[in-house]
Amino acid sequence: MGFLTSLIKKEQFNPGIIGIFTNPFYFSRRGLFLAMIDLGKDLSGKLLDIGCGTKPYEPYLSVQQYIGVEIDTERSRTTSKADFFYDGTRTPFNDGEFDSVLANEVFEHVFNPTEFLSEVNRVLKIDGKFLLTVPFVWDEHEQPHDYARYTSFGLKHILQEHGFEVVKHKKSVTNVRVIFQLINEYIYKKTYVDSTILRQILNTVLISPFTVIGILVSVILPSNEDLYLDNIILVRKIKNV
């Protein structure tokens, strides 16, 4: 049983073939992983991961120092791998302390985006890189702390307003797999049970067939750059704000 749990956990953020049959978020997580690794190659030096959770991408980023910070809650204290905790407003770091900043699937949970980006700007060095990922098409999650969805144009505008210059931008999963991911998310929520074993059985029996169909259909149908799951955007700090 421990082996099965470890296998499922391993396939959670970097799903391969096994993830097709075990991960209900296969399309989202696979697309996000590939884009993250591609743009993450530009991150270096001392990195701050804001809203780090379990630091799922730490093994794949070639940085000299990896520091994670989380909002100080009872849940984050027990489930995250954060090195520091903060009040959600000001992190416990000096101005210009970091060469790189990462915020992975965090920005939609930020009710004060202006203050958040100002804080990223503050702790990042001039010419430092900031890698931000945020969903575009996705259901409400982690309720009630889900506040926004951003188009690619909205993201670029708000980042430029806060002293950043866009270096690279990717849209993750730009084809019919978006539809199948939403179907899988619907089934997952409607069949969710507390038992890990039973939940995995339901995932494999009810969800993986749609994943397989989605993979096959996406080979036939064309892409659509206007409908996608995630924005992954790399920016450079060009000025203090």
Q: pLDDT tens for residues 153-202?
A: 999 999 999 999 999 999 999 999 999 999 999 999 999 999 988 999 99
Cis bond before residue 144 (omega within 30° of 0): yes
Task: Kindly state whether residues 238 and 130 are assigned to the same domain.
Answer: yes
Task: Kindly state whether residues 13 and 56 are assigned to the same domain.
Answer: no
CB 203 within 8 A of CB 22: yes
What are the counts of helices (DSSP H) followed by strands (DSSP E) for the chain? 9, 7
Task: Kindly state whether residues 102 and 186 are assigned to the same domain.
Answer: no
Residue 6 has pLDDT above 80, yes or no: no
What is the count of structural domains for the chain?
A: 2
Task: Kindly state whether residues 131 and 156 are assigned to the same domain.
Answer: yes
Task: Kindly state whether residues 46 and 152 are assigned to the same domain.
Answer: yes
The DSSP H or E segment spanning 99 is: strand 98-104
What is this structure's pTM?
0.94
Task: Kindly state whether residues 23 and 139 are assigned to the same domain.
Answer: no
Q: How far is CA 181 from the centre of its chain?
A: 15
Q: What is the DSSP letter of 163?
A: T
What is the extent of the structural domain holding 143? 41-171+228-241
CATH code for position 136: 3.40.50.150
Cα separation of 5 and 2, whole Å? Answer: 5
